[in-house]
Amino acid sequence: MNYHLIKRLFDYVSSAIGLILLTPLFIPIILILKFTSEGEVFYLQKRIGQENKSFGMIKFATMLKNSQNMSYGTITIPNDPRVTRFGAFLRKTKINELPQIINVLKGDLSLIGPRPLPKNEFDLYDENVKEIISKIRPGITGIGSLIFRDEEGIIAKNMPENPKLFYENVILPYKGVLEVWYFHNISFRTDMKILILTFWSLLKKDSGLVYKWFPSIPSKPKELYTHKLNEM
């Protein structure tokens, strides 16, 4: 059968079941967010999806209103003052990402695929990278998401004085290379391995296992070799 058809069916069924199972978790989170901080429950951010089409990606609100217009914009640093107290918990556990299963149901996202970026970041990719990434439905998780599971920590260890510069010059280009790798190695086997590693990453911040399971992944840029694999 067609890979893309089966993948879309898998996405739809999995996200529908996931939404039902997660409802008991969502209800208290919604109530806490509604009656704490600024009362914002969901955060809708414009991201670039398949065929360069913009869509609103849904997350639980974890930062102050208009936070993307403050300090480092869409880049978050450790102990970022824009992050609320409860929001910090949601971000650390990745629970803030769970509402994106609604995007999967709608067809904006897949469970596995390139991580969608805001337009200002997506436009920093090379033209050939943008062309390739735009052919694939973006995902909640993917190879880039696994490698940069602790992106905030990586930035803090490398260039805390200028996180925006480090992100744009080191992290973003490597993300692009990783997403191109995924495009050329896309398969059910690849997707299932990424899904398993995603669940593993919730227990342990260890990108070293990713490189072992996918030995053909492009090497890290030299700027990231200041850290051991299991520190990423």
Find the DSSP H helices in 148-207: 151-158, 163-166, 172-184, 188-203
Phi-psi region of 29 (alpha: psi -120 to 50; beta: other; left: phi over 0): alpha
pLDDT tens profile 3-22:
989 999 999 999 999 999 99
Return d(Cα 126, Cα 174) in angstroms, integer: 11
Q: How many residues does the chain have?
A: 232
219 with 147: CB under 8 angstroms? no
Whether the pTM exceeds 0.75: the reply is yes
Which amino acid is present at 176? G
pLDDT tens profile 105-142:
999 999 999 999 999 999 999 999 999 999 999 999 99
